[in-house]
Amino acid sequence: MTRKRRVVVGFLVLALLIAIAAMVAEADNSNSQGNQNEGNKGGEDNQGDQGGSKGKGPKEKPNPSEGDEGGHNGPKPKQPKEEPNPPSKGEGEPKDKPNPPGKGHEEKPNPPSEGGQGEHKGQPNPPILEPIPQTPPPSQPTPTPTPTPTPTPPQPSTPFTPPSEPPPSMPTPSQPSPSTPTPSQPSPSKTTSPPSTSTSSSPAKKPWPKAKCTNPNYHDCYNWEQLCPRSCPDGCEVDCYSCKPYCWCEKPGSICQDPKFVGGDGLTFYFHGKKDRDFCLLSDPNLHINAHFIGRRNRDMKRDFTWVQSLGILFDSHRVFIGARRTSAWDDSADRLSLSFDGQPIFLPETRGAKWQNDHLSPNPITITRLADTNRVAFEVDGKFRITATVTRITEEESRVHNYGITKDDCFAHLDLGFKFYSLSDEVSGVLGQTYGPNYVSRVNVRSVMPVLGGFKEFVTTGLFEADCAVAQFGGGHGDSVVDSEVEYASMRCGSGINGRGIVCKK
C-alpha cells in the first residue's frame, strides 16, 4: 500500500510539473509575439517621424529608432523611462497597453508612437518637456497665495510710519479690513483720549472781569464798561468822577482779606481784632456800621487770622444786615449772600441788575442792586452812602501761602467791602471812619511791611447792632456839622485822581 501511494504521488507531481512547463512555454510564446508586434509598430513610427520631422524630432528619438534597428531587444526601451509624461498622448496605443503590464519598462516606447500622428506631434513634445521644467518655478503657486498676505505684511511696515502721522495711517488700514481694524481701533482711541486729557483738563478760562460806572449823574462815564487792571483778577470798580477802574481792595474806603483796610486818606493798614467778636468800623451821628469777625487761631502767633463775615448798618431808625453764609464746598454759581432790612429778609433774583427798592423813606430812598448774578450787591441810601459787598472765600493756595490752616469743612466765606460816603460829620470815628476826619493823623508805621492799627478796646462792641463802642458817635440826630461836611468833602481834589465826596487827601 505504501509503494502504491508513492507511485501515485510521484505521478501526480510529474503531471503537475508538465502542466507548469506548458504554461510557461505558452507565456513565453505570447510575450515574444507581443514584442514582435511592438517592434513592427515602432519601426513604422520611426519611419514616419524621420520622414515628417526634419529638426527637432531626431534629437529626442534616436533612442527609439535604435531600438527599432536592434530588433526590439533589451535595454533601449529602458531609456524612455526618463520621459514620464508622454504616455498621456498616443491615440492608438490603448491596444498595446494590455501587453506593457507584463513589462513595465516597455511602456515608454509607446510615446514615440506620437510621431505616427504627424510632424506636429513630434514638435510639441519638446515644448512639453520645456514647460515641465518651467512648472517647478511656477510651482510658486504656494508663494502666490502668500503674495496676497505678503502685501499686507509689508503694509504693517507702514504702521511704523503712521505713529509719526496717525491720520494717514487711518485710510491705509481701512482698506485691508481684517488686518487693520485692530490698529485702526486703538489709534482713534488714542486720538480721542488726548482730547478728554487737553480739552477736559483744559476748561474754558473765566473771562477777565469788567466794571463800569453806575451813577447816571456822571454822563461822560456812565455805563462805560472797562477792563479791570491786571492786578485785579477778582474784579474792580470804576470811580465815576475819575472814570478809572480800581481793584476793590486798592480803592480808598475798602476792606478785604485778613482785614486789610485802605483808609479815606489812601493809606493801607491792617486791623486784626479778634475772631467771633464785633467791632465798630464807622460811627457818625447819622450812621453807624459794625462788623462781625470770624477767624482761626494761629499757634505760632499771638493773634487770630480774621475776616469780616457780616455787617450791621444803623441809620436813622433802620437796621440793615449784609452777611456771607457759611459754606464748605465753594461754587461761584451758588449765591451765598444774606440780606435783611429791619429784620425782614430780602430775596433778589439771581440776575445782574436785579433791584430791591424802598421809596417810603423819602427823601432818602434805599436801593439794593445785584452787581453780578450771585455774591455781589450794592447797598445805597441816596445822599448818604454806598456800600458794595462781595462774598468770597479762602482758597487752598491762600491757605498754603499764609498758613491759615483752612479745612474742607469750612472755606471761611467772608465779605470784601467797598465804602463811599456822601455826608460825614467832623466827629466821624471808628476803625475806618476815623480816616475820613479832617484832623486825622495816622498812627500806623507806614514804613512797616505790615502796618497794624491797634485799639482793640476803642472799637470793640457788644453786638452787631449795638452802638456802644468807646468811640461811638451815633445818636440818630441831625447836626449842623453834617451840612458843613458836605461842602467840605465836595470840594476835595486829590492828585491821585481819586476824588469825590467822602474823600480826604493826605500827604
pLDDT band at 34 (very low <50, low <70, confident <90, very high): low
Tell if the pTM clears 0.75, that is, is over it: no
Q: How far is CA 497 from CA 216, 269, 454, 494, 500, in A?
A: 20, 21, 30, 6, 9
What's the whole-number average pLDDT of the chain?
A: 70
| CA pair distance 260, 249, nearest whole angstrom | 8
Residue 309 carries which side chain, given as an amino acid letter?
Answer: Q
**Three-state DSSP class for 86?**
helix
Highest mean pLDDT among 32-36, 161-165, 216-220, 464-468: 464-468
pLDDT band at 39 (very low <50, low <70, confident <90, very high): low
Angle between helix axes 2-52 and 62-69 (nearest 10 degrees) is 130
Which pLDDT belongs to residue 329? 85
Of all residues in the chain, what percent carry a pLDDT higher than 90? Answer: 27
Which pLDDT belongs to residue 29? 78
| CA pair distance 191, 405, nearest whole angstrom | 42
Per residue in 354-386, pLDDT (tens digit) is 999 987 765 688 999 998 899 999 999 998 999
Q: Is the pLDDT of residue 179 over 60?
A: no
What is the torsional sign of CA 268, 272, 275, 276? negative
Report, as an integer, the average pLDDT of 377-397. Answer: 91
Higher pLDDT, 177 or 311: 311
Per residue in 203-212, pLDDT (tens digit) is 566 788 888 8
Per residue in 2-20, pLDDT (tens digit) is 777 888 888 899 899 999 9
Give the DSSP H or E segment for 324.
Answer: strand 318-324
Contacts of residue 3, defined as CB under 8 A and 6 or more positions apart, other chains included, come to none
Report, as an integer, the average pLDDT of 225-246. Answer: 85
Q: What is the DSSP letter of 393?
A: -
Which pLDDT belongs to residue 142? 45
**Range in 105-109, 457-461, 468-472 with the lowest mean pLDDT:** 105-109
**Range in 99-113, 227-241, 432-446 with the lowest mean pLDDT:** 99-113
Higher pLDDT, 290 or 65: 290
Q: How far is CA 390 from CA 118, 301, 339, 379, 406, in A?
A: 117, 29, 12, 11, 20
Q: Is the pLDDT of residue 477 over 60?
A: no
